[in-house]
Amino acid sequence: MKKIIAVLMVALIAKPVLAQLPVYLDETKPIESRVQDALSRMTTEEKVAMCHAQSKFTSPGCPRLGIPELHMSDGPHGVRAEINWDNWGYAGWTNDSCTAFPSLTALASTWNTDLAAQYGQALAEECLYRNKNVILGPGVNIARTPLNGRNFEYMGEDPFLAATLCVPYIQAVQKNGVATCVKHYVLNDQELWRGHINVELSDRALHEIYLYPFKAAIEKGKAWSIMGAYNKIRGQHACHNDLTINKILKGDWKFDGCVITDWGGCHDTYEAAMNGLDIEMGSYTNGLTSESKFTYDDYYLAKPFLKMIKEGKVPMTVLNDKASRILRLIFRTAMNKNRGFGSMASAEHYNVARKVADEAIVLLKNENNILPLKFDDYKKILVVGENGRRTLVQAGGSSELKPKHETSPLEGISKLAPGRVKYAEGYRSGASMFGRVEVISDAVYESLRAEAVEAAKDADLVIYVGGLNKNHEQDCEAGDRTTFGLPFCQDKLIESILQVNKNFVMVLCSGNPVMMPWLKDVPAIIQTWYGGSAAGDAIADVLSGKVNPSGKLPMTYGVKLEDYGAHSFGSICYPGDSINVEYKEDVLVGYRWFDTKKIKPQFPFGFGLSYTTFEYGKPTVSTKTMSAGGNIIVRVPVKNVGSVEGKETVQLYIGDVKCSVTRPLKELKGFEKISLAPGEEKVVSFTITDDMLKFYSDRKHDWVFESGAFKAYIGSSSRDIKCTIPFTLK
């Protein structure tokens, strides 16, 4: 009896306490009512406080109400080492070594949406373990020029490929209660003068090329935050731009998340208030190294903003909208009780990194099938090149990482031929930190070259590991490349070695295409991007044939710089005149330019060889005429006629034969990556719908199609077209 009374007493006492649980803390209530409840309890000062940084990488919650702060971290390829509370230095923690996943250009090269999801899942687990609520990525700016210092952080030159691969990454991260912050919105397509350069371009280029991946990230990926870019767009800073934020992002796309500045991207209180900026970070710094005397209370969206609210210059509805979005972001992340605890630098994550790095590698050339290498046949292997030993997960700017594990190319290769691998540095890049590079003397270059050539004479196989290396102006934030060719006297080194040893395989580690004057003399090349922690293992996997390469180029490799659209209209088109840059190539970016202007690329977009051979059969089509709202089903059999298992990415391009506006010859509108055992055949089918036929009309300010003749191209690359199917849109 006593027990029953006791239980009743507890229930009676507990109930009122439970009943007093405020709505915003009640997990059973819908988020929107929790947001409104929290908002109704906050003061104006507390709302304003949430709209700007309180430290380098955190923004406040509402301490009085027990609403937690937001912890943000770079970057797209892994969780960056802890940075000091109030300066750009590293905190020197010993518990923040991570898994370095391959660069996003590598992920794009896999053309594998399942891997993109696995990548996002593993990254989210590391964010959870490190208590990070917002991961500052993915980056989906477009590679319009191969000189852009940050192309390695982005997903290539084609908006459809970037859109298709960023969505699963975003969905996987956010399903774990971690927010992505898709960046840099929008038109941050060069690093030179990034903080202020004003981009001028047509509405068609803006919508068909540059906004396209962001639209997918928001509408399909449901990204919870987005990072405003440093540059200006049509005269107004991207972080508080009426057209791209108010009208397009929050208007047309109905974005319900937070616009966060790039660090130092906010420049005006009233514009930031009225043009949709929600959280101001890193003001008065250069986003990488410089500090400022301004305190967080001096931020544009701090005291000056509060003053405008109090004076009625900015309506309270503006502040309430910002605060609501920030609260929603906090409820989705820091206050999301369903979040797991994550994990860090595990074998599972290393294996995800390795799988992505494996499938990212593009086999560019394989004369006489020198690859895959039978390592047991070689007694004296020489690995040449600084990239053979260099860690390529450090440097590059804010995306740099401190990996727990890392396998260099030399280590990966040495595991395949213990005791039979020698190393020669060959070239040296010198130390480099955001803007300052150690100069290497010609004498040093000469001695390194001579030493490598001598060693090559004595080897029965040379594996050259070179490329770029995320030094300043060599694939690094805050600077663009100044030449299209390889740096550090590599061309001369390569040619010198080839003169003494033709048994030569090149491993190209870079985030961008490079000029290849030695191409005809190099028997085999693999493009490996920046492969992260498992880079060396992945290179060994492919060189040895353990993995059959299946990467496809996400960007065109031109013979020379002038072959690119962005480099065909003088300096105003790239890099601009330091005030403005005009995208005169318009919608003809990347292969869209090479195809339409009939320029032969060195290696085309979508290109990648295999150790096996795929045969495409005759396509079948459901119909040759299509009406609006209808569709055409195209089926094409693909057979592996070689002797090893392989993966092939079948690509669908669509071309509008005749149109009232200039359109690219063809554009990627679909792809499917299939795995085939030797002798196996699969039928790949594509459904062509009318939205694949549309272009953005700058008269109607909307996507439209025009009836008439179209062509569907099915290819193994943008230039290796296996079949062309003409059809008509009624």
Which residues contribute to the site for ligand GLC (CB under 6 A)?
74-75, 136, 183, 262-263, 287-288, 398
Residue 15's Cβ-count burial label (10 Å; 0-12, 13-18, 19+) is exposed
The nearer residue to ligand GLC, 125 or 262, going by C-beta atoms, is: 262
In the complex, minimum distance from the CB of residue 105 to ligand GLC, in angstroms, rounded to a whole number:
15
Strand 721-729, strand 708-715: pairing:
antiparallel
CA distance 665 to 479: 33
Other CB atoms within a 10 A radius of the CB of residue 726 amount to: 12
The residue nearest ligand GLC at its CB is 287
Residue 405's Cβ-count burial label (10 Å; 0-12, 13-18, 19+) is middle
Q: Which residue type, as a one-letter code, is found at position 319?
A: L
Reduce the DSSP state of residue 151 to 3 states and report it.
helix
Reduce the DSSP state of residue 582 to 3 states and report it.
strand
In the complex, minimum distance from the CB of residue 136 to ligand GLC, in angstroms, rounded to a whole number:
4
CA distance 67 to 37: 12
CA distance 490 to 96: 35
Other CB atoms within a 10 A radius of the CB of residue 667 amount to: 24
Q: What is the CA radius of gyration of the chain?
A: 27
The nearer residue to ligand GLC, 264 or 487, going by C-beta atoms, is: 264
Strand 381-384, strand 461-467: pairing:
parallel
In the complex, minimum distance from the CB of residue 183 to ligand GLC, in angstroms, rounded to a whole number:
6
The nearer residue to ligand GLC, 73 or 649, going by C-beta atoms, is: 73
CA distance 37 to 25: 9
The nearer residue to ligand GLC, 119 or 263, going by C-beta atoms, is: 263
In the complex, minimum distance from the CB of residue 695 to ligand GLC, in angstroms, rounded to a whole number:
31
In the complex, minimum distance from the CB of residue 56 to ligand GLC, in angstroms, rounded to a whole number:
8
By the 8 A CB rule, do 461 and 503 touch? yes
The nearer residue to ligand GLC, 136 or 525, going by C-beta atoms, is: 136
The nearer residue to ligand GLC, 300 or 593, going by C-beta atoms, is: 300
Q: What's the DSSP call for residue 197?
A: P
Give 66's contacts (C-beta < 8 A, 6+ positions apart): 25
The nearer residue to ligand GLC, 66 or 89, going by C-beta atoms, is: 89
In the complex, minimum distance from the CB of residue 578 to ligand GLC, in angstroms, rounded to a whole number:
19
The nearer residue to ligand GLC, 471 or 548, going by C-beta atoms, is: 471
In the complex, minimum distance from the CB of residue 80 to ligand GLC, in angstroms, rounded to a whole number:
8
In the complex, minimum distance from the CB of residue 482 to ligand GLC, in angstroms, rounded to a whole number:
20
CA distance 373 to 540: 10
By the 8 A CB rule, do 364 and 606 touch? no
Strand segments (E) across 49-119: 58-59, 70-73
In the complex, minimum distance from the CB of residue 398 to ligand GLC, in angstroms, rounded to a whole number:
4
CA distance 359 to 344: 23
Token pair 């927010």: residue: 179
Q: What is the dihedral of CA 117, 122, 123, 129, to 10 degrees?
A: 150
Residue 443's Cβ-count burial label (10 Å; 0-12, 13-18, 19+) is exposed
The nearer residue to ligand GLC, 74 or 96, going by C-beta atoms, is: 74
In the complex, minimum distance from the CB of residue 75 to ligand GLC, in angstroms, rounded to a whole number:
6
By the 8 A CB rule, do 301 and 265 touch? no
By the 8 A CB rule, do 673 and 682 touch? no
The Cα-based distances of 98 to 86, 94, 181, 340, 347 in angstroms read 22, 11, 19, 18, 11
The nearer residue to ligand GLC, 25 or 288, going by C-beta atoms, is: 288
The nearer residue to ligand GLC, 466 or 479, going by C-beta atoms, is: 479
Distance of CA 174 to the CA centre of its chain: 17
Q: Which of 74, 96, 189, 262 is catalytic?
A: 262
Give 240's contacts (C-beta < 8 A, 6+ positions apart): 228, 266, 267, 268, 271, 272, 274, 275, 276, 277
In the complex, minimum distance from the CB of residue 262 to ligand GLC, in angstroms, rounded to a whole number:
5
**Residue 262 appears among annotated catalytic residues:** yes
The catalytic site residues sit at: 262
